[in-house]
A and B are shown apart, each in its own frame.
Chain A
C-alpha cells in the first residue's frame, strides 16, 4: 500500500510557542485516519501545513510525493474542510457549491445533491444566515462530494445533532467503500468515530504521542482490576497510565503488549483484564503525559499550554 503523506521532523513555531514539535509520521493510501488530541494540541496547524495553507518552521513533508506548499498538482487532489471555515459575505449555499464544482476535478454533482437533500440545506439561503449546524453540513457536503483523493475534515460537525452526525458517518463509509480515498478525520467525539478509524494519530501539545492502527491500540491498553498487590505485580511489566484505588482493591490502566500469555498470567493473579475504549485510551494517554510533565518540569508542557490555547482560540 502506498504512502500519501510523509511527514519528517516537522516543527511549527509561533514566536516562542511551539505548535508542532518534531512531528514525523506517514499516512497510507485509501484509509481513514483519525487525528486526535485536545484543543490546542496542534491538529489544525498540522492539517493546514499538509494542505499548503500554512508552513513548517523546519522539517520536511510530502503529499503525493511532493511538497504541498504552492503546489497546484498536489493541492488539486486535496480537500480540507475545517470547522471554522468562512465564506464570502455575499455567498449563498449554491455559490459555495458552484465554487467547489469549479475547483475539485472529481466533484460529484449527484452525490452533492443527495447530501443536500439529506441535510435539508436550502440552496438559496445566504451562508452567513445558516445555523451553526447547517454551516457544518455545507462543509461536510463539499468535503464528501469533492471526492478528493486526500480529504481532511477538521472537527467537521460542530453544532450537528446526533442524526446529522450519523448521516455523515453513514455517507462517509458508504462512499468510501465505493470510491476509496485517504481520509483524515480530526475530532473530539472519539467514541462515535472509533469504529470508523483504521489508523490513529494522537497529538498532545504539539507532539505525536501515538501513530498506530486502531486495532493494535485496543490490544495495547487494558485495565486490570483486583487486589492491590496483584495489580502492582502485573503493572510492573507495563506502563501505568492511570490508577484508581479503593481500600485493598485497585484498578489500573496499563499500556504494553497484552497477548494470550499476559492474559493467562492476569487470571492466575486473580485480576480482571478488560479492553479500554478508544476515547478512554486517548484521555489516559494525554492526562498521563500531563501528570508526568507536572512532576518533571524539564518537559516542555506547562508554560506553552496557556499561550497555545489562546492562539488556537484567536484563530
Chain B
C-alpha cells in the first residue's frame, strides 16, 4: 500500500507540465472562443440563441493522451525502477479516480461561474454544453468526472496492448472494432432497428448517457487493461 502511494507520486513527478499543461491549454481555448464570439458579435442570452461551443471536450482529449503517455513512457521507466505491474496499475487507477474527481469539481466551478455571469457576459455556453449541462451540482460533478475515468481506462488498455503486442495488437484491436461495430450497424440497418435505437437514446436522461452507460465500457477496459499488463515485458 505504501508502495502504491510512492508510485502515485512517481506518476505525478513533473506534474506542472502534464496536468498543469492541460488546464493552461483549456484556458487558452476558452479565451480564444470568448474572443472569437466577441469579435464576430455573436452575443445572446445563454439559450439556444446564444453562442455554443463544444471546445470543453479538448481537456478530455488532452487527458486521454495523458493516459496513453503514462503507460508508454512512465510505465517502462517505473518497471526499470523495480515497480511491479500490479502496483503501477493500482496507482494509475487511484490517481485517475482522484484526478477525475478534482477535474470534475473544477469544471463544475467553471460551469457555476458560467451560469452566474450569464455566459461570460455574452451568453456563451462553453462548460454547460449539450448533455453535460446538469441542474444538480453533485450530478454535475459526476457527469464531468466519469468521462475522464472511462477515457483514462480506455487509454490505459490501448497503450498497454501496444506495449504488449506492438503493431500486431493495434491491428487486431482496430480490425475487431471494425468487425464488431460494422456488424452492429449492418444488423441494425438490416432489421430496421434505427428508429427504436434513436428512441431509446433520446429517452435516456443526459446524465445516464454521459456518465452511466459509458461506465460499462470503462469497467471492461479497466479489467482488460489489468489482465493485459500482467504479462507486459520491458
Query: A residues touching B (Cβ–Cβ < 8 Å)?
Result: 48, 51-55, 70-72, 75-76, 78-82, 85-92, 95, 98-100, 102-104, 142, 148
Contact = CB atoms under 8 A, between A and B. Distances in A.
Given A52-B82, A88-B73, 9 more contacts: A53-B233, A70-B86, A72-B3, A72-B87, A79-B81, A87-B77, A99-B77, A102-B6, A142-B81
Contacts of B231: 55
Interface of B: 3, 6-7, 9-10, 13-14, 17-18, 69, 73-74, 76-87, 230-231, 233-234
Main secondary structure of the interface of B (DSSP, over half): helix
Nearest to A82: B80
A90 B17 contact: yes
Given A53-B233, A54-B233, A102-B9, A88 B82 contact: no
7 contacts: A52-B84, A55-B233, A88-B69, A90-B17, A95-B13, A103-B81, A103-B82
B69 A80 contact: no
A53 B13 contact: no
A80 B84 CA distance: 13
A52 to B, nearest CB: 7
Contact of B73 (A80, A89, A99, A142): A89
Nearest to A76: B82
Nearest to A77: B82
A100 B14 CA distance: 14
B14 A103 contact: no
B69 A75 contact: no
A94 B76 CA distance: 18
A99 B82 contact: no
Nearest to B230: A70
A98 B85 CA distance: 20
A89 B6 CA distance: 20
Nearest to A69: B84
A70 B81 CA distance: 13
